[in-house]
Chains A and B, each alone.
Chain A
Amino acid sequence: MTASETVAPTTTPPAVETLRTTRGGTFGRLLRFAAANIRRRPERFVLAVLGIALAIAAVTVVRTISASFAITGADSVTRAVGDHAIWVVPAAGVEYDSKADALVAKGAPPALTLPDGWTGHQTIAGLWKSPHGHVAVYGDESLSGTQATLGTPLADRLGVSDGDTLSLPGQDVTVSVSGDSPILSVAPDVARAVVGDEGWWTADEPAKDEGRKDLGPLFGTAVGLPATTNPSETPAADGKGLVYDMTTGSGELSFAQKYASVFSGKVTNSALGLISIIGLILGFVIAISSFLASVQERRREFGIMSSIGLADEVLYFFLVESALVFVASWAIGVVGAGIAVWAVLPHLATPVAWLQASATVLAFLPAMAIVGAIVPVHRLLQQRPVALLSDS
């Protein structure tokens, strides 16, 4: 064979084999990495999830009670005042009677003369201690002397159904059952005979003052009573009463919403709220402790990663692991809380309140998961890769 001769290739050169990448993109790979680490120490994952889930369950139970109270507070004030602009309560104030599940006045409506152009009326609203328990009785001018309306739960409690006769002190009435109102509405005279002269005023502004945001002070000055938009403010014991301004500017909380927050605040500011927050802090300590233990055991692994320039990726690993721990804890915690609420507080909490509470607790999670991941990673990245690699 001469040099000028060419040799025809008998085989084709092997194709460059590309390394197969794992499926699922970066996030999918991070998830698989986190899952692999969880499989390495499953008991620690289970314990961390258990501890945080218990803490989340405790907070969810308290928030469920609080949300139930908020719903109750908003409903009770809406039933009492409707959409009127002004609510004038007696000097003794009003109170929510938990047995009657409604607001009742603790004294006679203040004596006042409505200013010119204002419309309003007095509502008798008091408590009847019936043989079947406490019942809120409201006077309703649209009802005649023998008529009464009430909701189904109250009708069941009183043992009456639509069209039955209910014996009230001094008068028998024929009941009409509809809706779920916990209030027994009767004619004002009948209500006065049952609960005495207890109640409040509601009023609305004249057309010329419509849209004004100072209706409370305007009305209060005219009738000589102090006015407020804050439902947590109560009448002075030595005063004549208090005017609540129910109007709401755009973007402001309505009076019912403010009243609801006063109600829910009673729970969150009580021993219940304090204990549950301590529980949540302990749960967070468990999360941090568990991640720190994981960092300690994986120093060499992170040393290798840091030494090839993957220091930032360590944060992503921990963020994903932390997110998995907190999401699993949240799911177990809220389900556990739902079961606990159903078993221990069947009459107090509602499914809507539980859902609201679950959503509220979910709002805490991102911050907890991020801080839970950053603390151990920060501690890790304080050290040089060689220090991490040289540890036994």
Chain B
Amino acid sequence: MLKYGLAYGLLSSRRRARQMLLPAITTATGAFLVVVVFAMSAGIKKQSASLGHADEIGHAIVLIAVTVLLVGVVEVAVATTRTIAHRTRELGVLGATGVRPEPVLVALLVEPVVSAFYGALGGAVLGAVVAFVLQALGLADSGVSVGGAVTGIVVAVLVSLVAAVVTSVVPTWRAVSRPPIKSLSAS
């Protein structure tokens, strides 16, 4: 049944591509910063050293970049609550026709996962491209690390996916476990 839920979620997410744009952009912004911070870590360390307390400032920059990524991902979950509110009656129909909550949950989680994944991947790749363009233009004095960029991309995508699922699963589960009559009678 889960694969049907997945297919249903993919089809409905294609229909709602426009609504997924804003969460994808906010996630992309956070992912962009994470990749730039990881790729240009040498330059950032140099700047941190000029402020003193190089290690502590360096850790703070990574912490804040990841925090900003999480802020971007929260918009994914806010968009999910909007989707759920919009599709309350549809959830009621699915429940009333005997569809179990698990595949409906999977179907509803497709949208946040897709927005988080594509947003994070797009922002991360853009971040890496910008870092290397800056290096090519001679604007990154301390160079750009390929390893750092790859680490940044992996961190951005993984953190976005996990955060999107964790923040979206509770409102989604609450919606799918509601009695169908309540969902159908919602105004």
A residues whose Cβ falls under 8 Å from a Cβ of B: 41, 43-44, 47-48, 50-51, 54-55, 57-58, 61-62, 65, 69, 96-99, 266-267, 270-272, 275-276, 278-279, 282-283, 285-286, 289-290, 293, 296-297, 300, 340, 344-345, 347-348
Contacts and interface: CB of A to CB of B under 8 A. Distances in A.
A44 B44 contact: no
A347 B56 CA distance: 8
B77 interface: yes
Q: Which 8 pairs between the two chains have the least Cβ-Cβ distance?
A: A98-B52, A51-B74, A279-B68, A43-B171, A293-B82, A282-B71, A44-B81, A58-B67
B30 A282 contact: yes
A99 B71 CA distance: 34
A23 B77 CA distance: 36
B29 interface: yes
A187 to B, nearest CB: 29
Contacts, number: 121
A272 B57 contact: yes
Contact of A286 (B50, B57, B78): B78
B29 A282 contact: yes
A270 B47 contact: yes
B162 interface: no
Given A43-B171, A48-B78, A272 B60 contact: yes
Interface in B62-117: 63-65, 67-68, 70-72, 74-75, 77-79, 81-82, 85
Interface of B: 22, 26, 29-30, 33, 37, 44, 47, 50-53, 56-57, 59-61, 63-65, 67-68, 70-72, 74-75, 77-79, 81-82, 85, 167, 170-171, 174, 187
Contacts of A96: 52
A301 B65 CA distance: 40
A51 B85 CA distance: 20
B81 A50 contact: no
A44 B67 CA distance: 19
Q: Which of B26, B74, B81 has the most chain A CB within a 10 Å cutoff?
A: B74
Contact of B75 (A62, A270, A282): A282
A345 B81 contact: no
B61 A272 contact: yes
A96 B52 CA distance: 9
A275 B26 contact: no
Given A279-B64, A286-B71, A348-B53, A43 B174 contact: yes
B53 A55 contact: no
Given A43-B174, A278-B29, A300 B60 contact: no
A212 to B, nearest CB: 36
A285 B33 contact: no
26 contacts: A47-B81, A47-B167, A47-B171, A51-B71, A51-B75, A51-B78, A55-B71, A57-B67, A58-B71, A98-B51, A98-B52, A270-B47, A272-B61, A275-B33, A275-B64, A275-B65, A275-B68, A278-B68, A282-B26, A282-B29, A286-B75, A289-B75, A289-B79, A293-B85, A345-B53, A345-B56
B178 to A, nearest CB: 12
Given A267-B51, A272-B61, A275-B68, A41 B74 contact: no
A99 B33 contact: no
A347 B26 CA distance: 33
B85 A345 contact: no
Given A275-B68, A289-B75, A65 B85 contact: no
Given A43-B171, A275-B33, A348 B68 contact: no
A203 B53 CA distance: 33
Contact of B56 (A57, A270, A290, A344): A344
Contacts of B59: 344-345
Given A290-B78, A344-B60, 14 more contacts: A43-B174, A47-B81, A47-B171, A48-B78, A62-B60, A267-B51, A272-B57, A272-B60, A272-B61, A276-B64, A279-B30, A279-B68, A282-B26, A289-B75
Contacts of B30: 279, 282
B37 A50 contact: no
B53 A47 contact: no
Contacts of B174: 43
Contacts of A344: 56, 59-60, 63
Given A51-B78, A272-B61, A293-B78, A98 B53 contact: yes
Contact of B187 (A47, A55, A286, A300): A300
A58 B64 contact: yes
Contact of A285 (B57, B75, B167, B187): B75
A288 to B, nearest CB: 10
Contacts of B79: 289
Contact of A54 (B37, B56, B70): B70
A271 to B, nearest CB: 6
